[in-house]
Amino acid sequence: MSVAQIWKVGQLRLMSILLPGLTVIGTAGQMHAESLTEARLELKNWTTAEDHRNMMEQLEIVRLRPGPSGQPTAPNAANYNPELANPYPDWPELLQTQTGQPVESADVWWQKRRPEIVELFESEIYGRVPESVPDVHWQVEEEADDRVVGTYPVRARKLLGVVDNSSCPDIEVKIQMVLVLPYKIQQPAPVLMMFGGFFGGGGMPRKAGEPAPPGRGGFGRGPATDPNADPPSVEQLIAAGWGYAVVIPNSIQADNGAGLTRGIIGLVNRGQPRKPDDWGSLRAWAWGAGRSLDYLETLPEVDSMKVGIEGVSRFGKAALVTMAFDQRFAVVLVGSSGAGGATPFRRHFGEALENLSGSGEYHWMCGNFIKYGAEESVRGALNANDLPVDSHQLIALCAPRPTFISYGIPEKGDANWLDQQGSYMATVAAGAAFRLLGARDIGDTSDYRTATMPAAGTSLLDGHLAWRQHLGGHEDRSNMKFFIPWANKFLHLSN
Ligand code: GCU
């Protein structure tokens, strides 16, 4: 072998250490310059358990603590005793820099403190969006002006955001979105972008004259069968002169760990596993919402300065993450988001950090997040109290833009598991950032450690930061009639 050949072989070895999935096409004897260009990565086809294990190995974690069970009768049932709910009452300082300086001006917030908080959420909780994510080209699949939402005539458009996959043609990502606007608009319409998912609604609205689906169905954000339910959210929006856009999260990134080597995360990594600070599904869904907003920005009929983001449950988490990281979104409705959303990890009530670091939900977060669920690792044992940031700071990243934290009630199915009271405390704690930036908080300026959630049905809607626990279940349609006028007021919309 010549020196040059030895060097090439060495380089290939190095590459296969750096890129564990590297498969070299060609025999050892052919290892010259051309074989390098032919080298191609074999897409990983791991199960969720395999991917989770790989991340534990990367992080040198030996053992995780198991999360509590949501079943009240299980031996390891989650805690629901309020007396035991605050083992870590002091949360990371919101308005103090990492070097201990108080943050007393908007300037220091924007220049120093906010970037610090963003960095910590990116490296430890939700992950980073890679520097070069391929471009998205939007195609109109179908357009119709003969549709109705409820009884309201609308114009609808079905779209596909095709991601350039020339870097890895084996992985295709096509973001699905349906945009629906009131038929008659005098001026560009505000639009609420909604993460589709649990309650359907990602399709085109029905044709005028076709029978309506039974019950209160459609994109209702609630059970279709309850005769007393409010009209579906989309109907309320159109009636109020708003448009809506439903984005399908799974078309951006799968909702499981096995999918992490596919979707937009997998495409950027060319089918290889994540590194510890790579983005998780929540950040990927938020990225997809941002690309969908890019498209809306090209439409004269949309008021792109007044586009909001909404989601319920895991998509409530995604809506909050979207709002926190993409400052072009003007308003957010965070529905029943729980842990990983508005609920602090430092609380001990219902779902715990350990549920999200286990193999069922870790894919929402970046790999590094798993470290905090470790019982035994190269770093020893870490827990929620070791996290450098918590949910009050995520809510604060939305300031001063209008931010509505919404829940339902456990009696109707918005389970205690979500820890509504914890989310309330975080909302109170986040208020300081809104006040600093000249915006209004929820009106409760008590110490977050002792702040108590008001009775369900109480509206704290006078501020840019808003809170309301409605009397329905695991949905946010029951808050839509409160959200719309509140958003109109803070976005200076007349309707
Ligand atoms: C589970 C999970 C929650 C999540 C919810 C959902 O209950 O533990 O964190 O919000 O599913 O998305 O439906």
* Per-residue model confidence (pLDDT) at position 212: 77
What does the alpha-carbon distance between residue 406 and residue 491 come to, in Å, rounded to a whole number?
19
Q: Is the pLDDT of residue 20 over 50?
A: no
Ligand 1 center–CA 370 separation, angstroms: 17
Ligand 1 center–CA 90 separation, angstroms: 26
- The protein residue with its alpha carbon nearest to ligand 1, atom 13, reads 313
Strand pairing of 189-195 and 243-247?
Answer: parallel
Q: Is the pLDDT of residue 225 over 90?
A: no
Mean pLDDT of 9-13: 37
**Tens digit of each residue's pLDDT (9 = 90 or more) over 443-488:** 999 999 999 999 999 999 999 999 999 999 999 999 999 999 999 9
Vertex 176 angle, CA 280 and 240, to 5°: 105
**Tens digit of each residue's pLDDT (9 = 90 or more) over 275-329:** 999 999 999 999 999 999 999 999 999 999 999 999 999 999 999 999 999 999 9
Is there an atom of ligand 1 within 6 Å of 353 CB?
A: no
Q: Is the pLDDT of residue 227 over 80?
A: no
Structure token pair of residue 307: 């586009």
* Per-residue model confidence (pLDDT) at position 41: 78
The percent of residues above 70 in pLDDT, for the chain, comes to 88
Q: In whole angstroms, what separates CA 284 from the centre of its chain?
A: 8
Q: Which of 446, 402, 440 is nearest to 424 (CA)?
A: 446
Is there an atom of ligand 1 within 6 Å of 233 CB?
A: no
- Structure-token match 């998780």, residue found: 280
Q: What is the DSSP string of 131-196?
A: S-PPPEEEEEEEEEEEEEETTEEEEEEEEEEEEP-TT-TT---EEEEEEEEES--SSPEEEEEEE-
* Per-residue model confidence (pLDDT) at position 229: 79
Residue 10 — pLDDT band, cuts 50, 70, 90? very low
Q: Which range, of 32-41, 264-273, 314-323, averages the lowest pLDDT?
A: 32-41
Say if residues 252 and 262 touch (Cβ distance below 8 Å): no
Ligand 1 center–CA 49 separation, angstroms: 19
Q: What is the average pLDDT value for the chain, to the nearest integer?
A: 91
- What one-character DSSP code corresponds to residue 91? P
Q: Which domains does the chain have, with CATH numbers?
A: 3-40 (no CATH), 119-490 (3.40.50.1820)
- The protein residue with its alpha carbon nearest to ligand 1, atom 2, reads 314
What does the alpha-carbon distance between residue 97 and residue 102 come to, in Å, rounded to a whole number?
6
The percent of residues above 90 in pLDDT, for the chain, comes to 85
Q: Which atom of ligand 1 is nearest to the CA of 355?
A: 8
3-state secondary structure of 379: coil
Residue 109 — pLDDT band, cuts 50, 70, 90? very high
| Burial of residue 98 (number of CB atoms within 10 Å: 0-12, 13-18, 19+) | middle
What does the alpha-carbon distance between residue 339 and residue 350 come to, in Å, rounded to a whole number?
9
* Per-residue model confidence (pLDDT) at position 18: 38
Say if residues 156 and 280 touch (Cβ distance below 8 Å): no
Q: Which of 203, 309, 315, 319 is nearest to 255 (CA)?
A: 315
